[in-house]
Structure 1
Amino acid sequence: MATTTANTPFPTSSASPATPAAGATSAVNDAAVKANDAVDKGAAAGHDVLNRVVQGAHHAIDRMAETAAPAVQRLQDGVHSASDTLSQRAHDAREMGDEWAESLRSTVREHPLAAVATALAVGVLIARLAR
């Protein structure tokens, strides 16, 4: 059975399909290399910008720390001083309370009837106010 190739739209030769020209392949490779170089340069530029931003942030933080350190030290000194003062005042109040208690004990020992009468009067007064 014989085949007719004149009426078919497909090539009938047994040759391999056409390959792209060597110049076209070289141009595509060159474009890919240029694109890779551009990406590398862009990444390097981005990395440089990031490094500059990070360095700027480091410098700003260092300046703020240098400015804040004396203020923090003054604040710590003030808190320490206030703590010492408060502790001293509490000690003085305890001593004064102890002195009053001892004075009251001494007075009650010297005048027991007057102390009982005063306590009774204060109790009656509180009872009347509470009604």
Structure 2
Amino acid sequence: MTTTTPFPTSSSSPATPATAAVNDIAVKADDAIDKGAAAGHEALNRVVQGAHHAIDRLADTAGPAVQRVQSGVHAASEAITQRAHDARDLGDEWAESVRTTVRENPLAAVATALAVGVLIARLTR
């Protein structure tokens, strides 16, 4: 593979003033590109550092709020679980109370059930 130079040069002729001017312009353009790249790199670094700082501040602010929400959810979950357990216990107590009443007064329970059945039948007719 051969490399080509942007400007043909002849080994027999010395550098002409035009070639020297082109080379000077190329060197200045290269320097300008390097300066622009360095400035762009510095600007990018500042933007990245600013983003890091903003994210850190957001995390510092959001962290305690998230913990408060988590503790609130945990407390609510415990309260709901306790109330569900209490409701289950209350239902069991009522069922046992009804069973005891039916065992103690079987004729009254049958009569009550018959009356409730007749009432429901009349309402749904």
Count of aligned pairs: 113
**1:93 aligned onto 2:70:** no
**1:23 aligned onto 2:17:** yes
Query: Could you list the runs of 4 or more consecutive aligned residues of structure 1 that deviate by over 2 angstroms after TM superposition?
Result: none
Q: 1:64 maps to which residue?
A: 58
Q: 1:75 maps to which residue?
A: 69
Distance 2:123 2:35 in 1: 91
Distance 2:55 2:15 in 1: 60
**1:105 aligned onto 2:99:** yes
TM-score (norm. length: structure 2): 0.87
Q: CA deviation at 1:119?
A: 0.4
Distance 2:48 2:84 in 1: 51
Q: 1:9 maps to which residue?
A: none
Larger radius of gyration between Structure 1 and Structure 2: 1
Q: 2:120 maps to which residue?
A: 126
Distance 2:119 2:80 in 1: 37
Q: CA deviation at 1:62?
A: 0.2
Q: CA deviation at 1:89?
A: 0.3
Q: CA deviation at 1:20?
A: 9.6
Distance 1:103 1:53 in 2: 73
Q: What's the C-alpha RMSD, in Å, of the aligned pairs? A: 1.3
Percent identity between the aligned chains?
Answer: 78
Gaps of 5+ in 1: 1-18
Q: CA deviation at 1:47?
A: 1.0
